[in-house]
Amino acid sequence: MTFLDSAVWGGKFCSDGWRHSPARQPVTEPATGDRLGTVGVATAEDVDRAAARAAETQRAWAATSPQRRAAVLRRAGELFTEHAAEIEDWLVREAGSVRSKAGFETGLAIGECFECAALPAHPQGEVLTSEDARWSLARRRPAGVVGVIAPFNFPLVLGLRSVAPALALGNAVLLKPDPRTAVSGGVVIARIFEEAGLPAGVLHLLPGDGAVGRAVVEAPEVRVVSFTGSTPVGRAIGERAGRLLKRAHLELGGNNALVVLPGADVARAASAGAFGSYLHQGQICMTTGRHIVHESLVDEYTAALAAKADALRVGDPAREDVALGPLIDRGQLERVHCIVTDSVAAGAKLAVGGEIDGAGYRATVLTGLTTDMPAWREEIFGPVAPVVSFSTTEEAARIVNDCEYGLSVGILGDVGTAMRLADRIDSGKVHINEQTVSDEPNAPFGGVKASGTGSRFGGPAANVEAFTETQWLTVRPDIADYPF
């Protein structure tokens, strides 16, 4: 039996053990439409039961020694390493990842677990001064039960980056993966922590639709909601959580800019731009969605980028050596094509691509855009690179900031000019002489404006802030004297 053998999880969800479900959904390979298995679907009632059980087990888990919690996280990292090849196969087949992306994502999961293994030993508060003869402490306590709702594009790491720190800090977790990636974004995580020694009932895997997500947000036991996904859904979750006086950590969409400064090495810049726009078929919140190139380089850059795009082969990454795999489903494929064709109808020029290729989409370069065209204004979530020019750094800053999103920006070229430009940009992340897609377990991650509620993921400071509450504690040597 393999680590992810369907005999363990087929037709089931995980809530205090693997449970059969009368409702089931197929696990489908987007490249071929083949069925890879079947997972059990949870209901709102299942969520309610899981939340109640999680609240019970959380207190004992929080009381577990920091060394024991750290050992579980370390063992999880070791298990990800031991079973990396099998996990990568699932990322390729279920999520449509090319092999290099699957390896990158699994590596991030390993790093996340080892990074979070240090959290239980991290300082959990501070000593405050006090005017009275007492000790005064601000200490961090586990939030309690954390609800995690994860997306399809990097299903493993974008769920794990909330699950791992929440567990490390003494919380219980309800995890709802995207239905399209319930194995690589859900079963994998549940199996890893099951084998790592996490007590039963602390982590619950609850696949399902929007009704299950709403139940996770609304469960009274859930005090923190961590959501990664689209901005419209994030707004709805934020509104619902706000009415219930719950904290919602929202990592949402992006329409990220890559600025190519005058004098930049065009060949290197085009390579960076191609990677930023076409990695995982552009289905990444950090994808380079806008190429803003100095007028002295724009023609040369566009030609170089188009040549890169034209050479990228589309196909089935499980059976072929390809650069671009399938889009996650037919609906997303048609949406991308509609954005491209609507923009061309409005006057944009197609330098290369713009075609559906089986279950995938050819790497595309668009020029001649105006700022009101959908390919420029919208988050495409597909392998499309729109290019415009600028003349001054002031104009470049204006173009970058003229966007509802603010997640990631790359600036290529002279470092001094790039530093001055970075100071004028509204973005959660800025990368100088790199493209827009970058993530490390110890680095803060998050966006501003419609990209979310700031850096709530990555690194000890962000994780402790995200998944704990502050409690003021005072201690004095004797009972105080009072005037009553």
Write the pLDDT tens digit of every residue in 196-238: 999 999 999 999 999 999 999 999 999 999 999 999 999 999 9
Relative to beta strand 364-367, strand 349-352 is antiparallel
Is residue 456 domain-shared with residue 418, that is, in the same domain?
A: no
On the question of pLDDT at 455 being above 80, the answer is no
Residue 77 lies in a domain: yes
**Chain segment 369-388, per-residue pLDDT in tens:** 999 999 999 999 999 999 99
Clarify whether residues 462 and 357 are in a common domain.
no
3-state secondary structure 381-423: CCCEEEEEEECCHHHHHHHHHCCCEECEEEEECCHHHHHHHHC
Measured CA to CA, the distance from residue 358 to residue 425 in angstroms comes to 39
Q: Is residue 289 part of a domain?
A: yes
State residue 241's pLDDT score. 97
Query: Do 464 and 361 share a structural domain?
Result: no
Say whether both 384 and 460 belong to one domain.
no
Residue 132: per-residue pLDDT: 82
Residues 286/434, Cβ–Cβ less than 8 Å = no
314-353 burial, b for 16+ CB within 10 Å, e for fewer?
Answer: bbbbbeeebbbbbbbbeebbebbbebbeebbeeebebbbb
Q: Are residues 405 and 458 in the same domain?
A: no
The answer as to whether 149 is a domain residue is yes
Give me the percent of the chain exceeding a pLDDT of 70. 100
How many residues in total does the chain contain?
484
Residues 222 and 145: their CA atoms lie apart, in Å, by: 5
pTM: 0.96
Query: What is the reported pLDDT for 450?
Result: 96
Q: Is residue 445 part of a domain?
A: no
pLDDT tens readout for residues 170-204: 999 999 999 999 999 999 999 999 999 999 999 99
Give the up-direction half-sphere exposure of residue 355: CA atoms within 13 A in the CB hemisphere. 9
219 with 260, same domain: the answer is no
Instruction: Output the pLDDT for position 43.
Output: 97
- pLDDT recorded at residue 454: 81
**Residue 439 domain flag:** no
Short-list 178, 221, 191, CA closest to 41: 178
Residue 418 lies in domain: 256-432
181 lies in the same domain as 235: yes
439-461 average pLDDT score = 90
In-domain check, residue 443? no
> Is the domain of 380 the same as that of 416?
yes
Alpha carbon of 216 to those of 46, 247, 483: distances in Å?
10, 13, 48
Report the share of the chain in percent with pLDDT over 90.
Answer: 98
**Distance, CA of 385 to CA of 287 (rounded, Å):** 10
CA atoms within 13 A on the CB side of 443: 10
Q: Are residues 335 and 245 in the same domain?
A: no
**What's the rounded mean pLDDT across residues 254-275?**
98
Same domain (yes/no): 91, 157:
yes
The answer to whether position 71 is within a domain reads yes
- CATH number of the domain that residue 235 is part of: 3.40.605.10
* Residue 446 included in any domain: no
Q: Give ∠ CA 191-248-137 in degrees, rounded to 5.
A: 95
Q: Please give the mean pLDDT across all residues of the chain.
A: 97
- pLDDT-derived band at 51 (thresholds 50, 70, 90) equals very high
Closest CA to 83 of 151, 8, 21, 31: 8
Query: For residue 456, is pLDDT > 80?
Result: no
Encoded amino acid at 105, one letter: E
- For the annotated catalytic residues, the residue numbers are 251, 285
Q: What is the pLDDT of residue 457?
A: 85
Task: Let me know whether 153 and 48 are in one domain.
Answer: yes
215 in the same domain as 260: no
| Domains in the chain, number | 2
Can you tell me the mean pLDDT for 26-44? 97
In this model, does residue 1 exceed pLDDT 80? no
- Predicted pLDDT at 71: 98
Taking alpha carbons only, the member of 23, 20, 39 closest to residue 188 is: 39
For residues 25, 97, 323 and 400, what is the CA-based torsion angle, rounded to 10 degrees? 100
Q: What is the pLDDT of residues 121-156, one digit of tens each?
A: 999 999 999 988 899 999 999 999 999 999 999 999
pLDDT at residue 280 greater than cutoff 80: yes
